[in-house]
A and B are shown apart, each in its own frame.
Chain A
Amino acid sequence: MTDASLRPKSSILRFVTSFGQAPLDYGRRFWLRLMVAVTFVLLYAPIATLIAFSFNDSKRNIVWKGFTLKYYAVAWNNASLVEAFYNSLAIAVMCTILSTIIGSMVALLLWRFQFPGKSAYEGFMTLPIVIPEICMGVAMLAFFARVGWPVGMPWPLNLSAITIAHVAFAFPFVAVVVRSRMAGFNRELEEASKDLGASEWQTFWNVIFPYMKPGIIAGALLAFTLSLDDFVITFFTSGPDTITFPVKVYSLVRRGVSPDINAASTALIVITVVATIFAMKLQAPEKQG
């Protein structure tokens, strides 16, 4: 047997095989792999550096001087930073509860009912997702100034303005997530429940709500992370005694990046990433038998 007999016989086949791999085999091509690597580095190198330098034993934080955990203690002992952290957490928790309730109700309304002007309503409801944050921030500032929103209330009521602003941009995200979850709901399940003798409320809590739940949890975690790290809108609605963590970090950074900010930021990243992973796990499509 000669070598020639092993080659593809038809010219068409030779033409096709000359391309080497199938179109979706791009992982095997050098320049595509390089592109992926570069993108990855550009995205994550700054974050990796930030985390690494939170363990750096150097005040000026420019060159690596050795491993330490002391800046976590420094950050922890910085009263105003910790207060800002608590403010952020309190706002995020309140915002999550409120926007989850409002967003789920909006999602149910849009899923369940037909009414005149529904598509316009749906459009306006999701508008905060696309409105530039800076416009939302200015609008919120103007609103609270115009209505004369009380300031100087005891904690956590003094955070109410920021919380309201956060709910305003977070609940549409919850509504969108829950609504897309409900799109897959089989209406016959609801009818089956009623057919078996359940009332409207029993049907809601026993059949509809369990189906909504993963969407609600995913939406809630989304609202939590959005609220926790929001800077622009918060910057416009916060006062001198209602500083949140991102706003505080911004003000500290203006005087130079110190390792304690890195440490605090790392803590925030961990909280956000854990919440996001949790949300994605819950949102993953269910196995259909």
Chain B
Amino acid sequence: MSKPIVSIRNITKRFPGVIAVDDVNFDIMENEFFALLGPSGCGKTTLLRMIAGFETPSEGEIVIDGQDMAMTPPNERPVNMVFQSYAVFPHMTVSQNVAYGLKVTGTPSAEIKTRVSEALEMVQLEHLGGRKPDQLSGGQRQRVALARALVKRPKVLLLDEPLSALDAKLRESMQLELAHLQQSVGITFIIVTHDQDEALSMADRIAVMHQGAVQQIAPPDGLYESPSSRFVADFIGKVNLFDGKVTGNRGKSINVDIAGLGKLSLPFDGPVPNEISLAVRPEKIRLSKQKPSGKGMMASGRVADWAYYGDTSHMYVETKNGLRISVTIQNESRDTVDSVDVGDSVWVTWRAEDTLPLTE
């Protein structure tokens, strides 16, 4: 296991009347692509700005590469940032923007020249060095901001919602490009985003934040398939949440009774509560017109609503007991959409092991 490059220790940040970041603790490893994910106002940007040095923690310490950063101003930290607005200097050309960070720290001009052209090549802007920022598109300006930060060869690159201003197509290609770039330069990337697709597709590990606290830190698949709380399950992707009563405890597993759906047995560790939440992802649920054979959870109901997304459709099935279950179906053939209609009687079924018990 590689060693931690950034350590966040007991960090709390209070603004008048609010606690923006509440006693946060975690390590970010060398060469990791780390994402801070959460809804707006969850404290993720404040945390990033504390790492960059633009905010001072109320409590706790930030250690970067073994050094406590408490007394280090932003201009002396071994980190660089790509700002949400890109903050490309409007009165300088692309080359001057990229050279700026080297010039102010007294790098010899011959070295500046080679490093600037390397950096521009890295972001495929070598032909636009003489342009002014107002002659560039949004995507190109972002590349300038990226080159300007990377040319400093930081230990950690911070990215504040870097893709939020780009259109959907460009965002998707930049996601891939950023992931490739991170692998090729071998620098730790910390990205702040509210977009779960962005975090899931790029990051090695994701920290989900909510109301100033870190809810869960896990790799993308761990976060999606094994969320630790109702909040995380609900925030990442779509989920059906059911309330269940624990009716039996058999050591390594528990029996749960879901009102209106039936009983099931689930593996479980830790202290057993009386009531429990059960989460099932909509794409794990199968839909059929006839009563399915075999084991697993099943329920019958009527299609109450439906939304078409091209590649998939979301079906909302209402059971007799008033439970609303959302089901994602793949539109596998061109007439899939015609096979089910609002009001139809259908069965839903899923494997018991795709049900996830949540206590928080």
Residues of chain A at the chain B interface (Cβ within 8 Å):
186, 188-189, 191-199, 202, 206-207, 210-211, 286-289
Contacts and interface: CB of A to CB of B under 8 A. Distances in A.
A287 B91 CA distance: 12
Given A191-B54, A193-B89, 18 more contacts: A186-B85, A186-B87, A189-B87, A191-B74, A191-B81, A192-B89, A192-B145, A192-B148, A195-B52, A195-B79, A196-B80, A196-B100, A197-B75, A197-B76, A197-B152, A198-B104, A207-B89, A210-B91
A189 B54 CA distance: 13
B114 to A, nearest CB: 18
A202 B74 CA distance: 14
Nearest to A197: B105
A234 B148 CA distance: 53
Contacts of B100: 193, 196, 198, 206
Contacts of A211: 90-91
B80 A202 contact: no
Name the residue in B75, B76, B83 with the highest tally of chain A Cβ atoms < 10 Å from its Cβ: B75
12 contacts: A189-B90, A191-B52, A191-B74, A193-B104, A194-B73, A196-B80, A196-B100, A197-B76, A199-B104, A202-B104, A206-B100, A207-B89
A184 to B, nearest CB: 11
A289 B87 contact: no
Interface in B135-165: 135-136, 145, 148-149, 152
Given A198-B75, A206-B100, A192 B91 contact: no
A188 B84 contact: yes
Lowest 7 CB-CB distances: which A-B pairs, in order?
A: A196-B101, A289-B134, A192-B87, A188-B87, A198-B104, A197-B105, A188-B83
Name the residue in A202, A287, A288, A289 with the highest tally of chain B Cβ atoms < 10 Å from its Cβ: A289
B129 interface: no
Name the residue in A194, A196, A210, A211 with the highest tally of chain B Cβ atoms < 10 Å from its Cβ: A196
B104 A197 contact: yes
A197 B73 CA distance: 9
Nearest to B160: A188
A58 B260 CA distance: 110
Contacts of A202: 104
A195 B81 contact: yes
B135 A289 contact: yes
B133 interface: yes
A230 B105 CA distance: 48
A191 B83 contact: yes
A58 to B, nearest CB: 54
Nearest to B107: A197
B75 A192 contact: no
Interface in B46-76: 52, 54, 73-76
Interface of B: 52, 54, 73-76, 79-81, 83-85, 87, 89-91, 100-101, 104-105, 133-136, 145, 148-149, 152
Contacts of B105: 197
Contacts of B79: 195
A271 B254 CA distance: 92
Nearest to A288: B134
Given A188-B84, A191-B87, A192-B87, A287 B134 contact: yes
Contacts of B133: 289
A196 B148 CA distance: 8
Given A287-B134, A289-B134, A289-B136, A192 B104 contact: no
Contacts of A186: 85, 87
A193 B104 CA distance: 9
Contact of A194 (B75, B85, B89, B134): B75
A196 B103 CA distance: 10
A195 B74 contact: yes
A191 B53 CA distance: 10
B134 A196 contact: no
A198 B134 CA distance: 23
A186 B145 CA distance: 15
Contacts of A192: 81, 83, 87, 89, 145, 148
Given A287-B134, A289-B133, A289-B135, A195 B84 contact: no
A94 B335 CA distance: 83
Contacts of A199: 75, 104
B190 to A, nearest CB: 14
B148 A188 contact: no
Contacts of B89: 189, 192-193, 207
Given A186-B85, A202-B104, A210-B91, A195 B134 contact: no
Contact of B152 (A194, A196, A207): A196
B288 to A, nearest CB: 54
Given A188-B87, A189-B87, A195 B136 contact: no
B87 to A, nearest CB: 4
B209 to A, nearest CB: 22
